[in-house]
Amino acid sequence: MKPTQKATLFVAAAGLVMAGLAAATPAEAHRGHGGHGGGHGHHGHGHGCDHRTNDSLRKVLECVKVTEVLKHQRALQWIADHNDGTRASGTPGYDASAAYVAHKLRKAGYLVTTQEFDFNIFEDLGGSVLAQTAPGSVTYTEGTDFGATDHSEPGDVTAAVTPVDIALGAGNTSTSGCEAADFAGFPAGNIALIQRGSCTFEIKGENAAAAGASAIVFFNQGNDPADPSRMDIPAVTLGNGYTGGIPALNATYDLGATLSGIAGLQLHVLANVTRVPGTTTNVLAESRAGDPTNVVMSGAHLDSVPEGPGINDNGSGSSALLEVAEQMAKAANRGKLDNQLRFAWWGAEEANLVGSNAYVAGLTDEELASIEMYLNFDMVASPNYGLFIYDGDGSGFGLVGPEGSDDIEALFQEYFDLRGEPTEPSAFDGRSDYQAFINNGVPAGGLFTGAEVEKTAEQAAKWGGTAGEPFDPCYHQACDTIDNLSIKALQMNADAMAYVIFLYASGWEAINQ
């Protein structure tokens, strides 16, 4: 049954259930205050959750506990602490994380498989160089003016610079480097200066390499001077599939704009990175019962970046999803839910969504058609959090998901409305594992609490926290530890995940028990 067929019934019935829960546990709506340690076990103990079959929405919501989510979070932190501070795919820390999740799921009774796939292991070693060598001599600062481009090849080049179809100024609609024609007459061996905008960095990089560029300096688009994500060093990637074979650096808009106007410019570009072939795995768990032609699928990426343990990104989504799966296991495996549940913990998301793409690419047409929806949970406990729901109906950003995505958004929205919590839409911008499903026509939705973008004053008034600071100040850094969480956001989102997954997995008869 597609989401469009179920959501209307569910919203009406679920509202009655939630109202009953709120009446039974009035403190629940206000539990936690954000920040690590800001909340406690959210429904208390004594309900026998380890032994009973959670075959109703009421039971599931009683038993999904933030204390249990945090146990998984602490386990992932322990794994990182004992594996060089990281859980990145291709490292022992990731392998141990995958083994931990698989063990918990098998213990819960699911059918668990691991899917191995190839990818490129990228690491930024630090110490990259960007320097002007003519006319004059200027050395720029790594981390302030520029950084290595994710999935760049290593390399050390000094050469003349050629700007590629640059469009400067506020409101620009740069398509720099998106077409092979942009490189007409490009001098082979020169460094390409390419502006962000319109197409992927992978396309720009492949076009530059094909034109004979020896290296690339990408700079941010600068189309919105008030948006740091369009002015600062862009947090983007050439992608796991990049084959250009040349080094690349990312620079701020201001630096790129300055460089584009220097006649006779020559630069020294050193990308001090490694990029080598490797293998890693997805962890997949499927219920032993439920209609296999109506699969409710949920996922979260399990890997961190190499720089840190990734306890918010994305230990939060991984741990909350694991708790939800454990609490639904008996009902799902004993035929108490109409539809089959499938959960995924993706590898190599940080290498440009490789695990989820590999999974979807390996499905037959029949297997793909059986997936009724995909729900994605990537960063659900950012310390300076916002409450974002993926914009399935396109009303916020104009990027509409496949048919049924609007109903998924509406059901998440219903949960937060019943809790009296304001939300905002989050764009389907291709930055997480929903993308492979959307590209193949599967309805999608999910939750997000923000990353490197700064919280506005209006958002701080809505949710609390600090305006002018990123939603996650430790995004992709070593400080993304067990102390880098909002417990309140983690509580709310774990409940919202359980609410939506259960309602889509169950029939009408299960809602009001």
CA 113 from chain centre, in angstroms, equals: 22
Locate all alpha helices (DSSP H) within 340-398, ordered by sequence: 354-361, 365-370
Q: What is the CATH number of domain 3-26+35-122+277-511?
A: 3.40.630.10
Q: Are 283 and 114 in contact (CB under 8 A)?
A: yes
Q: How far apart are CA 508 and CA 513, in angstroms?
A: 10
**Rounded to the nearest 5 degrees, what angle is found at the Cα of 436, between the Cα atoms of 434 and 440?**
115
Q: Which stretch of DSSP H or E encloses residue 24?
A: helix 3-24
Residue that the structure tokens 């905008």 belong to: 197
Rounded to 10 degrees, the C-alpha dihedral 219/222/227/231 comes to 30
- Length of the chain in residues, anyone? 513
The pLDDT score that the predictor gives to residue 507 is 63
Domain boundaries defined on the chain:
3-26+35-122+277-511, 126-271
Contact 57, 17 (CB under 8 A): yes
Residue 236's pLDDT is: 82
Catalytic residue list: 349
Q: Which pLDDT belongs to residue 18?
A: 59
Q: What are phi and psi of 114, to 5 degrees?
A: -120, 140
**Residue partners of 410: CB distance under 8 A and separation at least 6:** 7, 11, 392, 393
Cβ burial 353-369 (10 Å sphere, 16+ → b, else e): bbbbbbbbeeeeeeeee
* Lookup: tokens for 209: 């390499």
Beta-carbon contacts of 64 under 8 Å, excluding residues fewer than 6 positions away, are: 43, 323, 324, 327, 494, 495, 497, 498
β partners of residue 122:
275
Looking at residue 37, what is its pLDDT?
A: 39
Bridge partner residues of 250 (DSSP): 147, 218
Phi, psi of 284 (to 5 degrees): -125, 135
Check whether domain 126-271 has CATH 3.40.50.920, yes or no: no
Give the pLDDT score at 5: 44
Give the per-residue pLDDT at 48: 82
3-26+35-122+277-511 and 126-271 share one fold: no
The reported pLDDT for the residue numbered 399 is 86
Q: What is the pLDDT of residue 3?
A: 57
Dihedral angle computed from the Cα positions of residues 182, 186, 188 and 192, in that order, rounded to the nearest 10 degrees: -60
The CA-atom distances, in angstroms, between 259 and each of 72, 89, 130, 135, 176 are 48, 36, 12, 11, 15
Q: Kindly write down the DSSP assignment for every residue of 110-146, as one continuous string.
A: -EEEEEEEEEEEEEE-S--EEEEEESS-EEPPBTTTE
Q: What integer pLDDT is reported at residue 296 of this predicted model?
A: 97
**pLDDT tens for the 513 residues of the chain, in order:** 455 444 444 454 555 555 545 543 333 333 333 343 333 344 444 458 888 999 999 999 999 999 999 999 999 999 999 999 999 999 999 999 999 999 999 999 999 999 999 999 998 999 999 999 999 999 999 999 999 999 999 999 999 999 999 999 999 999 999 999 999 999 999 999 999 999 999 999 999 999 999 999 999 999 999 888 899 999 888 988 899 999 999 999 999 999 999 999 999 999 999 999 999 999 999 999 999 999 999 999 999 998 999 999 999 999 999 999 999 999 999 999 999 999 999 999 998 899 999 999 999 999 999 999 999 999 999 999 999 999 999 999 988 999 999 999 999 999 999 999 999 999 998 889 999 999 999 999 999 999 999 999 999 999 999 999 999 999 999 999 999 999 999 999 999 999 999 999 986 444 444
